[in-house]
Amino acid sequence: MDQLKPVQWWQHAPALERVVRDLVAAELAAARPGRQLPAAPWAPGIDLAADLGADSLDLMGAATSLADLLGFDRAGMGDALLARTRLADWIAAAHASLDLDAGALTFRTSGSSGAPKRCTHRLDSLWREVDALARLVPGRRRVWSAVPAHHIYGFLFTVLLPQAGGVPLDVLDLRGASPAALASWLAPGDLVVAHPDFWGQVAALAPVFPTDVTGVSSGASCPDATALALAGGGLRLLQVYGSSETAGVGWRDAAAAPYRLLPYWRRADAENTIERTVADGIERHALQDRLDWIDDERFLPNGRIDQAVQVGGINVYPAYVAEVLAMHPGVRACVVRPMRPDEGTRLKAFVVAAEGVAPAALRAELAGWIAERLTPPERPVAFSFGPALPHQPNGKAADWIIDAWE
């Protein structure tokens, strides 16, 4: 394959519409948990205020996020979305801004281990990754997507990659579709971009895939059992290891196999650190996982590096607190994290109760349980309950608002 020639991705109207629509939908949903929004795709003529009920604060939040993602300020268009409420106007503003400056995009982490973080990537670096990815999935004819286009994983695989061959590939939306129907929709040459939860649901149905279909999984670890089940049905599953901070780092296409670094990354001297050469020098990234290196090009993740947070000036470890809570027989699953700034300065916990256990009774029992096992700074002071742990459409862990779950 010849060296990939980058294109002006935003000139392909469906791609730009998908990025803007997915970001706006995510921001409106996050602004008011429980809000019912129309199913995608939305027509460009939809009015965010009149048709979706967005108020001025909702619009301000979504506009700020879109401007941040696409770099409106660099193009001198920081106020381009003010007083506009039609989705088509936002898409047009995005197009105009990118025509002036498309050199970088700023994605945000999920906040799964703290407050969301802004991660800026030069567009030429993203195209360098797409060049490597395109070599791993040659001959694709269509793309099916179960992930949002405004997150870095979705952007790479459903916006840039489909345009890597010069003639844009069709991108079909799988969100809201039944995993049971997936195999019957596919044809040779298809690429399916999804997250581990989606693949788990597909694997549970033991589908048989057409020949020459490739799946991609990223955003979280895909269980080996899921990957093996999909392979048994004839699917080649490409697993990509990376993050919002680094974009893609490594890949594998066999369960339990080591990941192989993408060609422009290399192992750095510092532990759990990688580096690459960029236009202005060497760029280094400390990863959030411990890595067991097989050699200088292959590695296996070996668990997240626990991040201490301070409560009352004392270092505490939310992952450890979650382990203690999970020891209670009435807890099926749980996650612990620091409160949002508007919620307080202590820890909070989200708990999935075991089958047949009433959340109200479990809440009372957990108070005594943690009092016996955790120091005061370690004890969560707010408990939320639900049928499953909060996660984003891409399968990553997500934060939750205490009041929305109490």
Do 296 and 187 lie in one domain? The reply is: yes
Domain that holds residue 24: 9-102
The distance from CA 364 to its chain's CA centroid, rounded to whole angstroms, is 34
State which amino acid sits at residue 211.
T
Whole-angstrom distance, CA of residue 405 vs CA of residue 78 = 35
Residues recorded for the chain: 406
Residue 327 domain flag: yes
- Mean pLDDT to the nearest integer, 209-220: 94
- Domain final residue, candidates 304, 327, 345: 304
Do 33 and 155 lie in one domain? The reply is: no
| CATH at residue 387 | 3.30.300.30
pLDDT in tens, 29-40: 888 766 778 877
Neighbours of 332 (CB within 10 A): 16
Do 154 and 250 lie in one domain? The reply is: yes
Name the maximum alpha-carbon separation found in the chain. Answer: 64
Whole-angstrom distance, CA of residue 102 vs CA of residue 268 = 30
Do 154 and 167 lie in one domain? The reply is: yes
pLDDT value at 243 more than 80: yes
- Domain final residue, candidates 256, 282, 304: 304
E strands present in 53-161: 104-108, 118-122, 142-145
| CA-CA-CA-CA dihedral for 309, 363, 112, 133, to nearest 10 | 150
Task: Give the number of domains in the chain.
Answer: 3
Neighbours of 133 (CB within 10 A): 21
- Residue pointed to by tokens 């490739």: 214
- Mean pLDDT to the nearest integer, 81-100: 94
Whole-angstrom distance, CA of residue 38 vs CA of residue 40 = 6
- Domain final residue, candidates 304, 328, 359: 304
Contact 318, 310 (CB under 8 A): no
pLDDT in tens, 251-283: 999 999 999 999 999 999 988 899 999 888 899
